[in-house]
């Protein structure tokens, strides 16, 4: 299992891709769910200000 630091580093490096996966229905549901979980984890750990989009 990955630690908090690993997950947040993965988010920081891949945030644009993660957002694209979540918003694209052509990706498999399980991949979209996993990408969403990484984003949600980053939000819950105050790495992303709530209500602010970075696009």
Question: Can you give the residue ranges of every domain in the chain?
Answer: 4-44
pLDDT one-digit tens code per residue, 20-53: 999 999 999 999 999 999 999 998 886 665 555 5
Token digits of residue 1: 């299992």
- The pTM (predicted TM-score) of the whole model is 0.74
CA atoms of 46 and 26, how far apart (whole Å) = 29
Give CA 15 to chain center in angstroms: 6
């Amino acid at each position: 299992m990955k630690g908090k630091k690993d997950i947040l580093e993965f988010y920081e490096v891949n945030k644009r891709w993660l957002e694209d996966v979540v918003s694209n229905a052509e990706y498999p549901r399980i991949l979209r769910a996993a990408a969403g979980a990484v984003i949600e984890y980053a939000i819950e750990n105050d790495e992303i200000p709530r209500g602010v989009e970075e696009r």
